């Protein structure tokens, strides 16, 4: 079976090389500098203070499923996520494989969305951090399996200089060395990015291997309030959910239902 992750990363490097030619990084850095006075909300704080911790994702397609919700519009879905009780929003900005654009984040901000927004892409180059900050993101995803520890450290340092928080994603025991970099948020992806098989047990298995007081985020394959409640007991504070909502005609309503069920669960447990 082909390793889709290698293909995506190779494609991403070509794409970024083109971006460098179209708009040099020095120009992009200057444009971004003008945005730095606009403060963006902290995703880490939002998750640590939230009772639900749901990071609702805007994701129109995926390499494994194809189109999930082709005509979904940021201008409708993301404000609905905010009204329905999301703690933060994740927006896919990869065009080739996920049908996303940087402009989707700009659009959400233009619509008045004030939640923290995660710039979700395959970040392999400093250029993308300037893109993330320029379009109004609060945080950026760094994926351990596509970066060396040194690359990760360097990108994390620049992200912080730009006022971005970092969600560092690991998905196997072999990547836990990256946790020593002390990112703002520690993500465990339950989906293997090479094969796209999903197993929420990955989060349970790796939970106690992460620093006790860290902001831990479980990503992918989460579709029920019960699983969220169990993950929360294991120390997770963020729950990244995309396809469960995006498969529905109204993703915002699907989120509202889940938040209601979660609240009922916690009321019954008290």
- Containing domain of residue 132, as a range? 4-269
**34 C-beta neighbours (distance < 10 Å), count:** 9
> So what's the pLDDT on residue 193?
65
Report how far Cα 136 is from the mean position of its chain's Cα atoms: 14
Q: Taking the C-alpha atoms of 189, 193, 196 and 198 in order, what is their torsion angle to the nearest 10 degrees?
A: -20
CATH number of the domain that residue 63 is part of: 3.20.20.70
**Contact (Cβ atoms closer than 8 angstroms) between residue 137 and residue 40:** yes
Candidate list 87, 90, 121, 189, residue with the active-site label: 189
> So what's the pLDDT on residue 270?
61
pLDDT band at 1 (very low <50, low <70, confident <90, very high): very low
Report how far Cα 169 is from the mean position of its chain's Cα atoms: 9
Q: What share of the chain is helix, strand, coil (3-state, %, to 5)?
A: 50, 15, 35
How much is the pTM? 0.95
Candidate list 12, 59, 90, 126, residue with the active-site label: 59
- 219 catalytic residue (yes or no): yes
- 189 catalytic residue (yes or no): yes
Helix H or strand E encompassing 236: strand 236-241
- 169 catalytic residue (yes or no): yes
- 233 catalytic residue (yes or no): no
177 token code pair: 């060395």
pLDDT digits (tens, 9 = 90+) for 58-110: 999 988 888 888 899 999 999 999 999 999 999 999 999 999 999 999 999 99
Alpha-carbon torsion (131, 57, 48, 179), positive or negative: negative
pLDDT digits (tens, 9 = 90+) for 186-234: 999 998 766 667 889 999 999 999 999 999 999 998 999 999 999 999 9
- 216 catalytic residue (yes or no): no
- 120 catalytic residue (yes or no): yes
pLDDT digits (tens, 9 = 90+) for 122-173: 999 999 999 999 999 999 999 999 999 999 999 999 999 999 999 999 999 9
Candidate list 57, 82, 175, 243, residue with the active-site label: 57
The answer on pLDDT for 245 being more than 90 is yes
Measured at the CA of 251, the angle between CA 58 and CA 194, to 5 degrees, comes to 45
Candidate list 126, 165, 175, 219, residue with the active-site label: 219
The answer on pLDDT for 266 being more than 50 is yes
Helix (H) and strand (E) counts for the chain? Answer: 12, 10
> So what's the pLDDT on residue 239?
98
**What is the count of structural domains for the chain?**
1
Candidate list 169, 175, 203, 243, residue with the active-site label: 169
Alpha-carbon torsion (95, 171, 149, 211), positive or negative: positive
Alpha-carbon torsion (190, 65, 152, 144), positive or negative: positive
């Amino acid at each position: 079976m082909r390793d889709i992750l290698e293909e995506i990363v190779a494609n991403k490097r070509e794409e970024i090389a083109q971006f460098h030619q179209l708009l040099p990084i020095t120009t992009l850095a200057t444009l971004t500098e003008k945005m730095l006075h606009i403060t963006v909300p902290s995703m880490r704080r939002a998750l640590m203070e939230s009772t639900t911790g749901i990071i609702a994702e805007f994701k129109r397609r995926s390499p494994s499923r194809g189109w999930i919700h082709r005509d979904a519009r940021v201008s409708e879905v993301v404000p609905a996520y905010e009204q329905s009780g999301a703690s933060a929003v994740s927006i896919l900005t990869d065009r080739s494989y996920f049908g996303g654009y940087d402009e989707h984040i700009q659009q959400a901000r233009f619509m008045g969305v004030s939640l923290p927004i995660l710039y979700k892409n395959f970040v392999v180059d400093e250029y993308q951090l300037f893109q993330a900050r320029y379009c109004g993101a609060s945080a950026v995803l760094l994926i351990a399996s596509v970066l060396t520890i040194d690359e990760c450290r360097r990108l994390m340092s620049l992200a912080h200089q730009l006022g971005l928080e970092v969600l560092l994603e690991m998905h196997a025991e072999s990547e836990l060395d990256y946790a020593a970099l002390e990112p703002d948020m520690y993500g465990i992806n339950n989906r293997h990015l090479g094969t796209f098989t999903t197993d929420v047990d990955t989060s349970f298995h790796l939970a106690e291997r992460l620093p006790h007081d860290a902001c831990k985020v479980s990503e992918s394959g989460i579709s029920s309030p019960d699983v969220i409640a169990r993950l929360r007991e294991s120390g997770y504070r963020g729950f990244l959910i995309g396809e469960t909502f995006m498969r529905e005609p109204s993703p915002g309503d699907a989120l509202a239902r889940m938040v209601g069920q979660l609240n009922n669960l916690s009321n019954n447990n008290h």
